[in-house]
Amino acid sequence: MKITERGWPGHFILCDRCLFRRNTLVEHDDIAVVISTVGLLKARDGDKFETVGSGRYFETMAFHADKSDKWKDAIIDKQIFLDCKCTIDKIDAEDDANDMHDAAVKEIRNMIVKGDLA
């Protein structure tokens, strides 16, 4: 199984204003999945943070990747729903967000090993 940490956000239309962005590509045989975590969305005034969704300052999502694309970016209409924690409702939580992202990567790896993803 190949795990690649990538240097760009994997989802969220306002990701350019997010200070926290992780994007991990998990590949195995013919399966490719993007796990993306975003957070700390800077408000337009620059001094405060906005939520990235209803009541959350960080969120993690997983998507099937576009294997025909050179970068294998997320196909956002092919979301993979996760059982692990995927949202954080506080601002000072970068360590928790990293842990949440890592747990999602682990869950996807386990799904692949069990044959739950095609």
The pLDDT tens digits of the residues spanning 22-54 come to 999 999 999 999 999 999 999 988 789 999 999
Instruction: Residue 21: name the closest of 56, 47, 60 by CA.
Output: 60
Tokens found for residue 10: 């994997």
Domain ranges of the chain: 2-114
> What count of Cα atoms within 13 Å lies in the side-chain half-sphere of residue 96?
16
Instruction: Residue 52: name the closest of 109, 84, 10, 108 by CA.
Output: 10
CA dist., res. 68 & res. 59, Å (int):
26
Find all residues with CB under 8 Å of 116, minimum gap 6, and list them. none
Low pLDDT (below 50) residues in the chain? none
